[in-house]
Structure 1
Amino acid sequence: MANRWLRPEVYPLFAAVGVAIGICGVQLVRNICINPEVRVNKENRAAGVLENFAEGEKYSEHFLRKYVRNKSPEIMPSINSFFTDPSKA
């Protein structure tokens, strides 16, 4: 029975599902630990609605967003410019 599921053709599927579960886990831990709107302990929940804009901006402007802010939204920019730029023909 185990030999049916552990064929080499199934490994990429296991890898893709593992990466997806890992991404979900990282996002869950990130939200629980540093999201300013999520309060786990009782004394923080008793505070009610806080208007802490600096903490919210720090959470939303993370490293990845700052890194890709001024990048062009292309996967392979050199290949795209090769096929679309008439001066390179």
Structure 2
Amino acid sequence: MAASRWIRPEVYPLFAAVGTVVGICTMQLVRNITTNPEVRVNKENRAAGILENFEEGQRYSEHGFRKFIRNRPPEVMPSVNKFFSDPK
């Protein structure tokens, strides 16, 4: 009885949106902890001080998604933009 009072079908899209946002935030946090050259989790790495790791920083900043988007036009929907912007 209590579950039917609190979980209604009208809020399923809200659950989906919040779940997606939490998933994206979790993915970014895990990515930063595991691959960011500025984040040091181990005590040995923290004691090292400033590291000269330019290659690791380059790999972190030039990830696959950025390489994929680099040569694409900065439009979300190019066909819709073309339809409304090109007079015929």
Q: Give the TM-score normalised by structure 2.
A: 0.91
Could you list the runs of 4 or more consecutive aligned residues of structure 1 that deviate by over 4 angstroms after TM superposition? none
Range with greater deviation from structure 2 (67-76 or 6-15): 67-76
5+ residue gaps, structure 2? none
Count of aligned residue pairs for this structure pair: 87
The residue aligned with 1:9 is: 10
The residue aligned with 2:50 is: 49
Q: Give the TM-score normalised by structure 1.
A: 0.90
Q: Aligned letter for 1:80?
A: N
CA offsets per residue over residues 25-53 of structure 1, 9 Å max, x none? 11111111111000011111111011211
Aligned-pair Cα RMSD in Å: 1.0
Instruction: Indicate the SS of the match to 2:38.
Output: coil
The residue aligned with 2:80 is: 79
1:59 aligns with 2:57: no
Identity, % of aligned positions: 71
In the TM superposition, 1:10-29 aligns within 5 A as 10-29=11-30
